[in-house]
Structure 1
């Protein structure tokens, strides 16, 4: 007699299937990033015509814009297998050597957060990318010997959110470097429309626009918010499978996502800047301690969006809240807020 299946495993498998279905499978299906798509299409077409692996590709840009999806598309359209790894997982040169030596001819290797690889692994990768060869050190001290190991030709797709941390020798070995930009609201509406059809939920145009406006220019966030709206519609009945603008507002308000996409942490940072530090300037670490978060989280997750929409400024003396931040939180100013140009 077979053992009963764990319902949680079935649920996880279902969620993974949905997550995979939300990812576009080809460049033609991929929404936004029009210039990058055309450049990638040319690179892949040239490699196919010449019957060779595509050049190494570096994808940079903020999280959630589709770097992993593009790597999957590169493998799919090249009709090659895909191997997934990440920079933090490659802590020693031996880890990278084991990974590279197991690649099949023409395989696509995707390394996420490639800037977080160790220095020794980066140096090994230089030779592997250029000559499809690595040198394995055997022994220690004066008796150590270097043994060359030939690799099968492969295509490396690296993804990074902080391209400035990549050493120049590594960056120069990529045949094509693309920077992904934040999405416009109209493009995010297309993302929501496509994802809604996959999730089998009807979202009218006005409701799609509301989700797009709160998605911070990021498709990953748009898909996440859409799934929360779907959950709200399922739980609160009504026309099951159909989300109205009121449903969108109610669901996202419940999850503390306001009209311009700020969440609880974003507002906590702005509130601390304004109420505790009178608009700043204040140092990053002090601000992080005040809101009970890691400084890296504030710097990499919260700050870029607040700066981009003009609610926070970065100055040599620290972070400041702009007049627009006071207006958004509806906090009266006792005096004129500091402006970047004044410091």
Structure 2
């Protein structure tokens, strides 16, 4: 199972500026990994945004610590990039325990899950990302493991098969999902705490970027970071990625400072417009308006027109475009809104906005 799960040690310190310089000399790949690790907050007090989830989770962890027991199982839901994995690591850090990390697609057999569960230690955290994609057989085994801290190992086949119960140490399961509606009710109900992560405000993202710029040792202006935050689609992961790309532009073509001119110029190079739309977003919106007169048009037809898979358009581009009010889903297909036409600087034909 070493290729499907791994442990994280929280004993390591965050790399200092001098350490990052040493890593830079050692290799770009190593410094990028160190930078990524440094940007993750280690404690709840350092986690920015999601105040309601932080407060609720703090109560769960503090109460469990006072009782001297492992916290209830935790389910974290929400769009990608909002901090579900980071919160799982924070839970382990606050519990002073190790974390075992795997993903739903990697657990395709009950034996896979049994191997992971049987190797857990007392108080350890098991984090399963995209938990809704687990195989059904493994999922049913997880029910008993979560409730009774045991698994039944089947020995033999057919009428002579025997179930041998294997006791497990008390552990905390942290599940993460981007599609909570796909979780079966029996699994969802076994979590003692459920937290939903929402998109970040520009102000919270700017706070995230201030911390990230400090951790990466880069010089940045308030207006530059605000510009990056406003184009980050409410997602810290995107904000940190854009920050590193703006830093690259500033070092190669600018003054070395992440300021407003550098942010605007770099994001133009990387095709991220003032509302955060990237190449795929604009391709979908532009095709919908210019080739299909604003719609309605079916998902498959729209995907073929932009040379992408329907799943990519539906799961990557559409959620943001719908949230921004640039397109709308109707029973007859996708349609462009008045705001979508205006964003492209186009005038909709008469009668196309009557949906």
The structure 1 residue matched to 2:41, chosen from 16, 21, 24, is 24
**Which whole-Å deviations, capped at 9, do the CAs of 1:28-69 have from their partners, x for residues lacking one?**
110000010001111000111100011000000000000000
List, as ranges, runs of 4+ consecutive aligned residues in structure 1 with deviation greater than 2 Å: 7-11, 336-339
SS in 2 for 1:178: strand
| Alpha-carbon distance, 1:10 to partner | 3.1
The structure 2 residue matched to 1:289, chosen from 288, 301, 304, is 304
**Which whole-Å deviations, capped at 9, do the CAs of 1:92-124 have from their partners, x for residues lacking one?**
111000000000111000000000101111100
The structure 2 residue matched to 1:91, chosen from 95, 104, 108, is 108
| RMSD, aligned α-carbons | 1.3
The structure 1 residue matched to 2:125, chosen from 108, 112, 120, is 108
SS in 2 for 1:28: helix
The structure 2 residue matched to 1:325, chosen from 322, 332, 340, is 340
Structure 1: distance between partners of 2:101 and 2:340? 41
Distance 1:8 1:315, change over 3 A: farther
Q: Which residue of 1 aligns with 2:330?
A: 315
**Which whole-Å deviations, capped at 9, do the CAs of 1:299-333 have from their partners, x for residues lacking one?**
11111110111001011111111011111011222
Structure 2: distance between partners of 1:212 and 1:300? 22
Structure 1: distance between partners of 2:100 and 2:334? 41
| Alpha-carbon distance, 1:12 to partner | 1.8
Q: Which residue of 2 aligns with 1:273?
A: 288
| Alpha-carbon distance, 1:336 to partner | 3.5
| Alpha-carbon distance, 1:227 to partner | 0.3
The structure 1 residue matched to 2:94, chosen from 77, 83, 89, is 77
Distance 1:259 1:74, change over 3 A: same
Number of residues of Structure 1 aligned to a counterpart in Structure 2 = 332
Alpha-carbon contact 1:323-1:337 (below 8 Å) kept: no
SS in 1 for 2:82: coil
Alpha-carbon contact 1:32-1:187 (below 8 Å) kept: yes
Structure 1: distance between partners of 2:213 and 2:26? 24
Q: Which residue of 1 aligns with 2:279?
A: 264
Structure 1: distance between partners of 2:333 and 2:311? 15
Give the alignment's TM-score, normalised by structure 2: 0.91
The structure 1 residue matched to 2:156, chosen from 117, 139, 159, is 139
- Long gaps (5+) in structure 1: 1-6
**Which whole-Å deviations, capped at 9, do the CAs of 1:241-276 have from their partners, x for residues lacking one?**
x22201000000000000000000000000111112
Q: Which residue of 1 aligns with 2:270?
A: 255
Distance 1:17 1:301, change over 3 A: same
Give the alignment's TM-score, normalised by structure 1: 0.94
Q: Which residue of 2 aligns with 1:207?
A: 224
Structure 2: distance between partners of 1:84 and 1:205? 36
Q: Which residue of 2 aligns with 1:246?
A: 261
Greater CA deviation, 330-339 or 158-167? 330-339
Alpha-carbon contact 1:280-1:338 (below 8 Å) kept: no
The structure 1 residue matched to 2:83, chosen from 43, 46, 66, is 66
Alpha-carbon contact 1:193-1:208 (below 8 Å) kept: yes
Greater CA deviation, 140-149 or 186-195? 140-149
- Long gaps (5+) in structure 2: 1-23
Distance 1:58 1:292, change over 3 A: same
